[in-house]
Chains A and B, each alone.
Chain A
Amino acid sequence: MSTTEQQTTGTFAADPVHSHVGFEVPYAVATFSGEVPDFTATLADGHLEGSARIESIQLKDETLQAHVLSPEFFDAERHPVLSFSGELSRDGDRATVEGEITMKGITQPATLEGTIVGPTVDHFGATRVGLKLEAVVDRTAFDMKWNMPLPSGEPALGNEVTLKADLTLVAQEA
């Protein structure tokens, strides 16, 4: 399928109720995950822009939350926003966004990959696009180097963090 087929033109903005942004990272024997509920995302003629307010990160434990917001991780006091900007390309239902992500004041290239659905008209008459994307980033490249050795000597926390965005984008009226 051609990459020019079914291109999304016009401007779409994330519907926050039906969208989720979060992360996963290997921790000890399992996966540690969290959500960043306060975010915005827009898709304008194939250009995806997103930002998330770090202080809004929700974890299941306030002590862990305090640690993640501290200078050892996001340093939310000095770097309150995570941002992404990139260009969407589409091949059928496969979506790739090549761009840059900024966390903790450090900008690195990043590729988001996943699926795209739509544009399609919903039951209220609004035009929606679904974008489900992931990117794996090395947290140490963003100056987040904390770790703790397990009794085996292996580090407790993985360096490869999966950033996840499951977006419902709604066409904005011109």
Chain B
Amino acid sequence: MRVLAISGSLRRDSNNTALLRALREEAPSGVDVEIWDGLKQLPPYDGDDDLVPGPATVEAFRSLVREADAVFFATPEYNSSIPGALKNALDWASRPLATNAFRNKPVAVIGSSAGAFGGVWAAAELRKVLGAMGARVTEVEVAVGHAHEKLDDDGRLVDDDVRAALGESLETLLAEAAPALAA
């Protein structure tokens, strides 16, 4: 089973990307968690460029989503919402809406932030956007507050509770994806 993991942050030392690396370590055997690093390569969404086929980086992203059995997001919170680059990627992926790559795709969303609330508003916003795109949004809700305190100097997750929550989140997502595979 393939899980595409998408961090909403472009920052090299991103806490969210670090959480996805920890998620990958928690994956059971037979589950491949691939962390996508193409977010910065997507052009800004422009309806004039929304042709068939679209820009190469966009088509590559859409293919990755289509081929994945599920998608796991970790997002920071910018101004009470999701980062523009992440929204841009989803706007590209959502076209055309009726047949978009995220349609019926099982997805999970977690958030993290340097502050106390762990990006809960961004995560809620991201779930709303994914739901509108027709994704199968799971009940996963993990908000990692003070995220930088839960990582060591090498960006490795050192908080057992968060690690356990990541493992449970992945389990929930995989369970949602399983009926689709059986069908």
State whether A67 and B134 are in contact (beta carbons under 8 Å apart), knowing that A62-B98, A77-B104 are contacts in the complex. Answer: yes
A-side contacts of B179, CB under 8 Å = 78
Q: Beta-carbon contacts of B118-141 to A below 8 Å, as 1s and 0s?
A: 000000000000011011110000
A71 to B137, CA, bound (A): 8
Chain B interface size range: 10 to 19
Q: A66 touches which one: B103, B131, B137 (CB < 8 A)? A: B103
The answer to whether B135 touches A66, judged by C-beta atoms less than 8 angstroms apart, is: no
Q: A65 on the interface (CB 8 Å rule)?
A: yes
A19 to B105, CA, bound (A): 35
B-side contacts of A140, CB under 8 Å = none
B-side contacts of A66, CB under 8 Å = 97-98, 103, 134
A63 to B132, CA, bound (A): 10
Q: Beta-carbon contacts of A63-81 to B below 8 Å, as 1s and 0s?
A: 1011101111001011000
Q: Beta-carbon contacts of B2-43 to A below 8 Å, as 1s and 0s?
A: 000000000000000000000000000000000000000000
State whether A71 and B136 are in contact (beta carbons under 8 Å apart), knowing that A66-B103, A77-B104 are contacts in the complex. Answer: yes
Question: From A71, which residue of chain B is reached at the shortest CB distance?
Answer: B136
Question: From A78, which residue of chain B is reached at the shortest CB distance?
Answer: B179
A77 to B183, CA, bound (A): 10
State whether A63 and B137 are in contact (beta carbons under 8 Å apart), knowing that A72-B131, A78-B179 are contacts in the complex. Answer: no
Q: A39 on the interface (CB 8 Å rule)?
A: no
- What number of A residues sit within 8 Å (CB to CB) of B? 13
Q: A146 on the interface (CB 8 Å rule)?
A: yes
A70 to B135, CA, bound (A): 7
A77 to B135, CA, bound (A): 11
A63 to B134, CA, bound (A): 10
State whether A146 and B97 are in contact (beta carbons under 8 Å apart), knowing that A66-B103, A70-B103 are contacts in the complex. Answer: no
A67 to B98, CA, bound (A): 8
Question: From B135, which residue of chain A is reached at the shortest CB distance?
Answer: A71
Q: Beta-carbon contacts of B130-164 to A below 8 Å, as 1s and 0s?
A: 01101111000000000000000000000000000
A70 to B130, CA, bound (A): 11
B-side contacts of A65, CB under 8 Å = 98
The answer to whether A146 touches B131, judged by C-beta atoms less than 8 angstroms apart, is: yes
The answer to whether B97 touches A63, judged by C-beta atoms less than 8 angstroms apart, is: yes
The answer to whether B104 touches A67, judged by C-beta atoms less than 8 angstroms apart, is: no
B-side contacts of A69, CB under 8 Å = 134
A71 to B102, CA, bound (A): 11
B-side contacts of A70, CB under 8 Å = 103-104, 131, 134
Question: From B133, which residue of chain A is reached at the shortest CB distance?
Answer: A70
A-B residue pairs in contact (CB < 8 Å), sample of 30: A62-B97, A62-B98, A63-B97, A63-B98, A65-B98, A66-B97, A66-B98, A66-B103, A66-B134, A67-B97, A67-B132, A67-B134, A69-B134, A70-B103, A70-B104, A70-B131, A71-B131, A71-B134, A71-B135, A71-B136, A71-B137, A72-B131, A72-B132, A72-B134, A75-B136, A77-B104, A77-B180, A78-B179, A78-B183, A146-B131
**Residues of A participating in the B interface, judged by any CB pair closer than 8 Å:** 62-63, 65-67, 69-72, 75, 77-78, 146
**Known contacts A62-B98, A71-B136; 16 further A-B pairs (Cβ under 8 A):** A63-B97, A66-B97, A66-B98, A70-B103, A70-B104, A70-B131, A71-B104, A71-B134, A71-B135, A72-B131, A72-B134, A75-B136, A77-B104, A77-B180, A78-B179, A78-B183
